[in-house]
Amino acid sequence: MAGPSLSFIVGIVGNIISILVFLSPIGTFRRVVKNKSTEDFEGLPYVSTFLSTSLWTFYGLLKPGGLLIMTVNGTGAVLQAIYVTLYLIYAPKEKRIKYLKLVGALDVGCLALVILVVLLAIHGSARITVVGILCAGLTLGMYASPLSIMRTVIKTRSVEYMPFFLSFFLFLNGGTWTFYAIVVRDLFVLVPNAIGFVLGSLQLILYFVYKSISRSKKLTVKTEEEGSAHLVKSSVEMSENEANGEKNESSLTKVESLPKTSVSKQHSFQKNLKTHSLSPYELQCSTNCAQEEEDVEAALGESNTTRQA
């Protein structure tokens, strides 16, 4: 009994890698759902891939022995439909309107038109040729659609919005399906996947070039933020110290401005305090002595008056 052919083994490997490619945006859309925003992520790759996988599924149905192509692309079409739906839900209003028009024109209108024309107006092997050419062109579009993301990476010098696993699996997918196309001699599969392999390689090179730049940029921003926070904290502490100093000076000024007790009042207070501290006997003697002093002063006064007269 003959074992599985080389083309079948390579096709299975290609299917596995292709499904990994289709699953790679899950992390991106988990972030989109969590933040309830598509941020700066582009929706074009998912719209174009949805159309591409749908047409490849149709191509696999038309071509004899195209079971592997049909199954993997059918799975991909379902996943891409989910991604496009999530993107439309969480995209800003302007982007949502833009991508709704694209989805309606490409993924619905164009796909329906191709299927109707091929089934009604084209017959025999020409169907495979026409659909194969369309699929090759769309696959090129699928591989080229991340070029907009690559432009963003070069412009912002950041790889934040270019998912690594998507680029990595596109690279593997293009290489595997290129080898499969060479084995089965399918030109429609060979051309777009060979170009996709080259574009995937360029994306990986770009990712590793700008990854180190992004990391150093984040460290610089973090250092600047920490320095700014330290300066703000020092400024606040200085302001608080100045405010406390002004408060203390104000308190001292208030204390100095309080009215001072006059000497006569202090003498009267001391006299009263001394009087209240005497015993009854001492108090009586003090009173008698005071009376005698007054009598003496009165007599001296009368004597002085008589002399003046």
Tokens of 233: 């904290």
Taking the chain (309 residues) in runs of 10, the rounded mean pLDDT of each run is 71 86 86 89 85 92 87 93 93 90 92 93 89 86 71 81 75 87 87 86 86 62 56 61 57 48 46 47 49 58 53
Helix ranges restricted to H, 110-186: 111-121, 126-144, 147-156, 164-184
pLDDT at residue number 307: 53
Task: Supply the pLDDT for residue 245.
Answer: 60
Alpha carbons within 13 A on the beta-carbon side of 249: 6
CA distance 308 to 79: 134
The whole-number pLDDT of residue 266 equals 46
Quote helix, strand, coil % in the chain, to nearest 5: 85, 0, 15
pLDDT at 120: 92
The residue whose two tokens read 């988990």 is 30
Dist. CA 265–CA 271, nearest whole Å:
10
- What pLDDT is attached to residue 131? 92
Q: How much is the pLDDT for 84?
A: 94
Q: What is the pLDDT of residue 258?
A: 46
Q: Where are the domains positioned within the chain?
A: 6-218
